[in-house]
Amino acid sequence: MPIPAPQPSAQPALSVTDRLVKANAEYAAAFTDPGMDARPVLKVAVVACMDARLDLHAALGLELGDCHTIRNAGGVVTDDIIRSLTISQRALGTRSVVLIHHTGCGLLNLTEDFRHELEAEVGQRPSWAVEAFKDLDQDVRQSMERVRTSPFLPHRDDVRGFVFDVHTGLLREIDPRH
């Protein structure tokens, strides 16, 4: 029996964004408004790397409405992270800060050369630092220190830092003192 030729698809292939929008329609169809306000229930802000393998809610047992999640490349405490933390604490009532870096981070393979190469290529120097690092633990310590020394943050006594292992799913706490 001859194999039938594939039929031309009636619909054009969905882009990834189309796929997300379609998933959202299904999500919204099953959604019920939990009636929460904007203040996180657990009064905690989690600052983490944007890495796709790090599912913060699942890894930390968090539910909708529990926490602020503030993410960027590396989970590095930049001025913009301080901006978000300041709003989180001063306007939305969070008290604790959890910092999460992870094994196999893309920033471990970069150096500030990335910035210089970028400048050479596009003819403009970025205003931001790459914040690349070689030592994960030390970078977590530096991030903790940046939070603990920020004059904008009223709550700096409960700041803890961790490295998430993308192979085991386990957090390892970093001692800030050494």
What residues line the site for Zn ion (CB under 5 A)? Answer: 49, 51, 105
Q: How many CB atoms lie within 10 A of CB 30?
A: 6
Helix (H, G, I), strand (E, B) or coil at 69: strand
> Least distance (Å) from Zn ion to the CB of residue 142?
15
Cβ proximity to Zn ion, 105 vs 144, nearer residue: 105
Question: Is the separation of the CB atoms in 134 and 108 below 8 Å?
Answer: yes
> Least distance (Å) from Zn ion to the CB of residue 59?
14
Alpha-carbon distances of 171 from 63, 107, 163, 168, 174, rounded to whole Å: 18, 19, 6, 9, 10
Cβ proximity to Zn ion, 60 vs 105, nearer residue: 105
Separation CA 146–CA 75 (nearest Å)? 12
Cβ proximity to Zn ion, 62 vs 105, nearer residue: 105
Cβ proximity to Zn ion, 106 vs 154, nearer residue: 106
Find where tokens 């993308």 sit.
Answer: 166
Cβ proximity to Zn ion, 42 vs 166, nearer residue: 166
> Least distance (Å) from Zn ion to the CB of residue 87?
23
> Least distance (Å) from Zn ion to the CB of residue 77?
14
Pairing of strands 159-164, 171-174: antiparallel
> Least distance (Å) from Zn ion to the CB of residue 53?
9
